[in-house]
Amino acid sequence: MNDLKNALFSEYNMNGLMLKNRIVMAPMTRNFSPNGVPMDYAPTYYARRANGGVGLIVTEGVEVSHRAASGYPNCPNLETDEAKKMWEKIVNEVHKSKSSIFCQLWHVGGIRKPGMPPNPEVPGFTPSGYVVPGKKVAHEMSVDEINELIEVYAEDAKICEEIGFDGVEIHGAHGYLIDQFFWDKINLRTDEYGGSIENRSRFAKEILMASQKKTSDSFQIGIRVSQWKQQDYEAKITSDSKELDQFFNILKNAGADFIHCSNRRFWEGEFEPDGENLAGFAKKATGLPTISVGSVGLDKDFIKLYSGDHKTQTVNLDILHKKLNQAEFDLIAVGRALLSDPEWANKVRDGKEDQIVPFDKSFVENYV
């Protein structure tokens, strides 16, 4: 292994949780969990990535135990004994490879469409009834409903610890429920959950605090955030560096153990083309462990997947190695490259990048 790769394959101490390297499997929705239960192949699917050299796995989005959490078919949850037993199998298989695993807790918010099973009468929950600016189409949450959901997240975090997960990642990115609170263009509330960046962050803050209270000190609880939204790729929580600093420190002071920052392209700076990316900015602002993500090892960002331009080529990782060696961020999450090649991490370690299987959409459509 050459010196350039040393950082990527070095151990990392995440608040007492020792990770065997800096590679994270990014959360990726698979739609292979009928009735909320991961299919029998799921333990093998996750174990292959752990065996392939991934240090930390973040699961696909797991719907929190709330009537309006679901927005897509066949996504997993924690609501039945059958689902919990399957997640326990997954955790055990991953741990056999000396890898760690976090459960990503997810609520789609206003992305939920009317008439969706299993409860077609339940609307999409939002801070103000908006999914995009300008048209009120969903349910505006009451304070009681906000408090109910905070408790749901905390209880599910507790369940995850009981199952054996090493931590949870609260999904606060990509225009889903928590991110809808962050986004001032659709969070038009005039109470303590709307207005200033402090108020718009309150829902996430209280989820983190409640989840920490329900779990042990060694259990990791972090949050995933993004500036962009699936409703608007140019949208931002804030374009002001001081306000962004304040935002990240609100999450830190709420008890976040790590921050996972989602970029469409990890090499792009947040405020300057060659500057620190969002994860780098978060690390500098808070000192917390940070995870970066976005088109790692691929020549196209994931948006192309949905426009028919889905075939990719493997690219070199020089920029990634440089950023890790400079300690801009601590960990790097890999998504699509790990769908097509479970051995991606080991091949990179062993200098076999030319043998990596390139990604195309067939790897989304099948369990590999």
DSSP label at 77?
B
Name the burial class of residue 309, with classes exposed (0-12), middle (13-18) and buried (19+) by CB atoms within 10 angstroms of its CB: exposed
Nearest to 293 by CA among 356, 359, 231, 227: 227
Cα distance between residue 36 and residue 69, in whole Å: 12
CA distance 208 to 282: 17
Q: Where do we find the tokens 């007492």? A: 16
In this structure, the number of other CB atoms found within 10 A of the CB of residue 365 comes to 10
One of 45, 130, 176, 193 is an active-site residue; which one? 176
Contacts of 221 (CB under 8 A, 6+ apart): 157, 167, 168, 170, 208, 211, 212, 215, 255, 256, 257
> How far, in Å, CA of 146 to CA of 170, rounded?
15
Q: What backbone phi and psi angles, to 5 degrees, belong to 77?
A: -145, -170
Pair of tokens at residue 134: 């300008």
In the three-class reduction of DSSP (H, G, I as helix; E, B as strand; rest coil), residue 211 is classed as helix
Q: Which amino acid is at 234?
A: E
Q: Mark whether 176 is an active-site residue.
A: yes
d(CA 159, CA 83): 12
The residues carrying an active-site annotation are 176
